């Protein structure tokens, strides 16, 4: 007897033998049990997943001597002849050959009225039905919708979208899916055991992956490797015959990318070319490896899944997963996919692959935005200038209890008591005390210290630590506080009602502020963040380091438009402007009044 290839020899004979299509086989078995059999079926799906085989099994189940039954006996004349493809009542038609309307009328339409010779049904199995012409489909419409009771159509296709909707609406459509590599490998292991073929587990997985979800393709590859190596097959034999890319080479390339070893990457590409690998396939395997690494990064428990990692490569994959971030793996997958497309149309695919690996090394140097902002924030205290140029912020005398943002037009004059009044006692200096170190230039509120000098020292150290740790937070959030009360037993930040955003950011940093306070005070100091009570005007802003607060204008000066110098002084004294200038220092400023 002539040699029969494994794909035909081990073709499924019952619904239970059809692997990976439980939804289809279970539905058909239930329909046979309940005798609810449709007049037309469309079986669609990728190649080699069991469409035509299922159609033959269904024909046997319908025509079996014990049928219709979900379990054909396999020994009656109908079962044997249908399995061998020589039953006169079961016609298998290749639509690519009989694509014309005349062929369809001659082979199918004209024979519909003829009763089956022996079987219960006359079955038409039309393979690759999408190859029929539009006129051929139109000729079949009426026959598919209302065939004689003894006629059943079974149409198989790999391109369902090419079948007219008028045909699909008159049929029951069953969609077949690709078969997982684990299921294919298990089937190959059974066949190898029955055929007395020795092959390691890694070789079976390579054959299963080579089929890309098609059982027939994997069995054809198995036959090809068997012809090369005999009944004792090694992994190297599988790789050599099928031109597959070994996972070791793929992992070596990824490790060269991690180590930023460009020389090793070029050498590995050279090795792949010497072995005759298809560089598109190599790119595809690199992309698949990044996908496996991403799966392990998301769920390490998937390491035991053979679709992700074989036993021999599991430890290496797990070790590599810790060297890649998820962002790097996502970028790597996109880059390798684009590189594969470039190689497809390139005259020098080697160059595209080498440049793709170098670009991947460069992409791994990108720093996440959050980490970059953190580095900038930590570097800000050292990068900021020690003081603003004196020309930017004019020095004016500080007058207590002055509305924020006002600029005097003339020096302040002390009040003269009315005649007969007792002269007031000598007061301390009229100028405001020098700002404490660590106070923010441009803080719109006040920092009131409650208690004695130790508390004032606590306040100075506390604000200095905040500014040194997070200068941006200090300038934009702490600077907008209405007041900051520092005492020996607590620290209170008060924000006006319209400062909800600043208050919320301060709430987010409350734990960090508590840590700073404990570090400075040597004990736990509670931090309280409240909304300022009432509609009282904001207290005068504390002076900047070396930049006192501006005094108010007199009524006469406020009534007249100020001189350019006054306008500039008023703008530069604004808290927001001062905060921006501290973050982004500039040498020259221009003020325009609107």
Coil/strand/helix, residue 251? helix
Confidence of residue 390 (pLDDT cuts 50, 70, 90): very low
114: pLDDT confidence band, cut at 50, 70 and 90? confident
Q: What is the pLDDT of residue 314?
A: 80
Most confident of 424-433, 454-463, 507-516: 507-516
Shortest CA distance to 125 belongs to which of 160, 93, 97, 100?
93
Which of 48-52, 329-333, 542-546 is least confident? 542-546
pLDDT (0 to 100) of residue 585: 62
pLDDT digits (tens, 9 = 90+) for 479-499: 888 888 888 788 888 888 878
Instruction: Please say if the pLDDT value at position 142 is more than 70.
Output: yes
- In tens, the pLDDT along 333-389 reads 999 999 999 998 888 899 999 999 999 988 887 766 666 666 666 665 554 444 444
What is the tens place of the pLDDT at every residue in 548-562?
Answer: 334 344 444 443 455
| pLDDT in the model for residue 190 | 93
Residue 547 has pLDDT above 70, yes or no: no
- The predicted-structure confidence for 514-528, as pLDDT tens digits, reads as follows 888 888 888 888 888
Judge whether residue 437 has pLDDT over 50: no
All domains in the chain, ordered by first residue: 6-175 (3.40.50.300), 181-242 (1.10.8.60), 247-363 (1.20.272.10), 446-583 (no CATH)
pTM of the model: 0.57
**Closest CA relative to residue 174, chosen from 53, 353, 335:** 53
- Per the prediction, the chain carries an average pLDDT of 78
**Selected residue with higher pLDDT from 391 and 281:** 281
Is the pLDDT higher at 48 or at 556?
48
- Using CA atoms, how far residue 156 sits from 100, 103, 354, in Å, is 18, 18, 43
Quote the distance between the C-alpha of residue 229 and its chain's center.
43
Say whether pLDDT at 540 is over 70. Answer: no
- pLDDT score recorded for residue 485: 85
Q: What HEC string does 447-480 produce?
A: EEECCCHHHHHHHHHHHHHHHHHCHHHHHHCHHH
Query: For 61-70, 363-372, 424-433, which range has the lowest pLDDT when averaged over its residues?
Result: 424-433
Reply yes or no on whether the pLDDT at 403 is more than 80.
no
pLDDT at 81 over 60: yes
Say which residue the tokens 């009534």 belong to: 559
Evaluate if residue 110 carries a pLDDT over 70: yes
Beta-strand runs (E) in 211-268: none
pLDDT at 109: 87
* Residue 169 banded pLDDT, cuts 50, 70, 90: very high
Q: Give mean pLDDT, residues 305-310.
A: 74
Question: Predicted confidence band at 426 (pLDDT cuts at 50, 70, 90)?
Answer: very low
pLDDT tens digits for 253-265? 999 998 889 999 9
Contacts of 548 (CB under 8 A, 6+ apart): 395, 396, 397, 398, 432, 435
The Cα–Cα gap between 484 and 492 comes to 6
| Position with higher pLDDT, 384 vs 512 | 512
Residue 54 CA to residue 62 CA, distance in Å, equals: 12
CA 451, 453, 456, 462 torsion-angle sign = negative
Using the predicted structure, report yes or no on whether residue 308 has a pLDDT greater than 70.
yes
Q: What is the pLDDT of residue 245?
A: 80
The arithmetic mean of pLDDT across residues 164-179, rounded, is 93
Mean pLDDT, rounded, for 394-405:
40
Residue 34 pLDDT greater than 80, yes or no: yes
**pLDDT over 90, % of the chain:** 30
Q: For residues 372 and 376, what is the distance between their CA atoms, to the nearest angstrom?
A: 6
Give yes or no for a contact between 119 and 155, defined as CB atoms under 8 angstroms apart. Answer: no
Task: State residue 334's pLDDT score.
Answer: 92
Confidence at 429, pLDDT banded by 50, 70, 90: very low
């Amino acid at each position: 007897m002539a040699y029969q290839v494994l794909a035909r020899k081990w073709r499924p004979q019952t619904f239970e033998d059809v692997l990976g299509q439980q939804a289809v086989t279970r539905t058909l078995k239930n329909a046979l049990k309940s005798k609810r059999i449709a007049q037309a079926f469309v079986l669609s799906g990728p190649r080699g997943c069991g469409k035509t085989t299922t159609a033959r099994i269904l024909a046997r189940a319908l025509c079996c001597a014990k049928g219709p039954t979900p379990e054909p006996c396999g020994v009656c004349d109908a079962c044997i002849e249908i399995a061998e493809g020589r039953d006169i009542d079961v016609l298998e038609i290749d639509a690519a050959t009989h694509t014309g309307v005349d062929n369809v009328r001659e082979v199918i339409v004209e024979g519909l009225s003829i009763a089956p010779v022996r079987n219960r049904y006359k079955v038409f199995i039309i393979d690759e039905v999408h190859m029929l012409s539009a006129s051929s489909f139109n000729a079949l419409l009426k026959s598919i919708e209302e065939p004689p009771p003894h006629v059943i159509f079974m149409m198989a296709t790999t391109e369902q979208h090419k079948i007219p909707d008028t045909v699909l609406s008159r049929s029951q459509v069953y969609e077949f899916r690709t078969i997982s590599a684990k299921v294919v490998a298990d089937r190959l292991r059974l066949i190898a055991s029955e055929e007395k073929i020795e092959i390691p587990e890694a070789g079976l997985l390579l054959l299963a992956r080579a089929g890309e979800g098609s059982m027939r393709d994997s069995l054809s590859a198995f036959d090809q490797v068997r012809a090369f190596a005999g009944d004792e097959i090694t992994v190297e034999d599988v790789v050599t015959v099928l031109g597959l890319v070994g996972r070791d080479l793929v992992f070596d390339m990824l490790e060269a990318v991690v180590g930023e070893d460009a020389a090793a990457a070029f050498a590995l590409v050279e090795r792949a070319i010497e072995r005759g690998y298809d560089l598109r396939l190599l790119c595809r395997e690199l992309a698949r490896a990044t996908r496996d690494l991403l799966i392990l990064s998301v769920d390490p428990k998937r390491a035991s899944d053979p679709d992700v990692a074989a036993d021999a490569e599991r430890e290496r994959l797990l070790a590599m997963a810790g060297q890649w971030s998820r962002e790097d793996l996502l970028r790597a997958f996109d880059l390798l996919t684009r590189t594969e497309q470039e190689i497809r149309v390139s005259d020098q695919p080697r160059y595209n692959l080498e440049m793709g690996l170098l670009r991947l090394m460069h992409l791994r140097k990108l720093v996440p935005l959050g980490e970059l902002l953190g580095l900038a924030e930590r570097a800000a205290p050292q990068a900021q200038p020690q003081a603003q140029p004196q020309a930017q912020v004019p020095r004016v005398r500080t007058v207590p209890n002055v509305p924020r943002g006002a600029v005097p037009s003339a020096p302040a004059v002390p009040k003269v008591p009315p005649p007969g009044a007792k002269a007031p006692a000598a007061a301390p200096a009229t100028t405001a005390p020098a700002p404490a170190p660590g106070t923010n230039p441009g803080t719109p509120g006040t920092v009131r210290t409650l208690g004695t000098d130790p508390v004032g020292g606590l306040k100075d150290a506390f604000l200095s630590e905040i500014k040194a740790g997070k200068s941006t937070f200090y300038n934009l959030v702490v600077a907008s506080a209405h007041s900051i009360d520092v005492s020996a037993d607590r620290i209170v930040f008060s924000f006006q009602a319209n400062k909800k955003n600043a208050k919320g950011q301060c709430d987010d940093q409350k734990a960090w502020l508590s840590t700073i306070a404990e570090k400075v005070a040597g004990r736990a100091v509670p931090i309280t963040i409240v909304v300022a009570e009432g509609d009282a005007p904001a207290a005068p802003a504390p002076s900047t380091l070396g930049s006192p607060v501006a005094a108010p204008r007199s009524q006469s000066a406020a009534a007249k438009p100020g001189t350019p110098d006054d306008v500039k002084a008023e703008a530069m004294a604004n808290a927001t402007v001062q905060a921006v200038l501290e973050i982004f220092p500039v040498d020259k400023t221009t003020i325009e009044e609107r």
